Amino acid sequence: MLEVITWAVIYMLTMFLGYFLKRMGVFRTEDKRILSNIIFYVTLPAMLISSFSGAVVDFWFLMALFLGILGNVLMVIAASIFSRRKEPEVQALYIINCAGFNVGNLAMPFLSNFFPAGVPYLCMFDTGDSFISLGTTYAIACMRLGRKSGSKFRSILTSLIQSVPFDVYLIMTALSLLQIELPEPILQAADFMGRGNGFLAMLMVGISLEINLERKDVGEVLQMLFLRYACGAVFSFCIFTLLPAPLVMRQVLALAVFAAVPNVALIYTTRLGVPMEIASALHPLTTAFMIPVMSAVMLLIR
């Protein structure tokens, strides 16, 4: 229990440090893009290589991928039902921002401190999530608005292949299937660079933390938060109690469903031209709540 609380405090303090340094003028909000690139292209792939070392790919890896897809599908259905009487623009907003999990950039660095053996399962869950959040939800939202999305399976697959972390997933999974281990110097270098991933991720969150919300939009933000966490709680309970999977897999996936809204949701919200203020508030709130919520749930399932 003390370990969970300690790490939660460390991560929250790192986030507040980033916000404080931004307020002091050391960083600007635009600097989050630099940190994001370092995480995406260097520290996150390095952490994946280090964590994947020695992993044995089996049936449950494929099940983790399926659960990443299933979790998103259920959240899309719930968002569609919950927003069915609202304006088309708000329906599209719910579809984009109520589904998707920011596992790679945010949840994985935190959870790897407690469940290093569970990182490969998180990778597969994140891969399944990517099939929905990297284009499918956008296509559905466009349908709500009566537009053509231009998003097809080929474009989604192209986006995945161009993602460095996804490429690392594929390579490390293939190496695990072939029982090929990387040379020790490469693993040592990956371990060294990957250790900074959690710090950089939370520092980036603090730098990007900004909420400018009008009173009329507060209700929508609260409803979307309720929907995400209610669906997450149900899905988490089912994964941990009903799935006959290895314990570490059930633990990490039961926590992963409480991850923040993915960054791509803001990009798609901008493309759709729907109320950006709501999405801009929802993103930092789910990011700020992620560590306390995951820590509380972790105390129940460890």
Cut 0.95: pTM above it:
no
Distance CA 49, CA 172 (A): 7
Distance CA 166, CA 11 (A): 25
Q: Which two tokens stand for residue 205?
A: 């969150």
Distance CA 130, CA 262 (A): 10
pLDDT in tens, 160-203: 676 677 788 778 878 877 778 888 888 889 888 888 877 887 78
Helix (H, G, I), strand (E, B) or coil at 25: coil
In angstroms, the first-to-last Cα distance of the chain is 9
The upper half-sphere exposure of residue 109, i.e. CA atoms within 13 Å in the direction of its Cβ, equals 28
pLDDT in tens, 231-275: 999 999 999 999 999 999 999 999 999 998 887 777 777 777 777
Gyration radius (Cα) of the chain, Å: 19
Amino acid at 66: F
Distance CA 279, CA 290 (A): 16
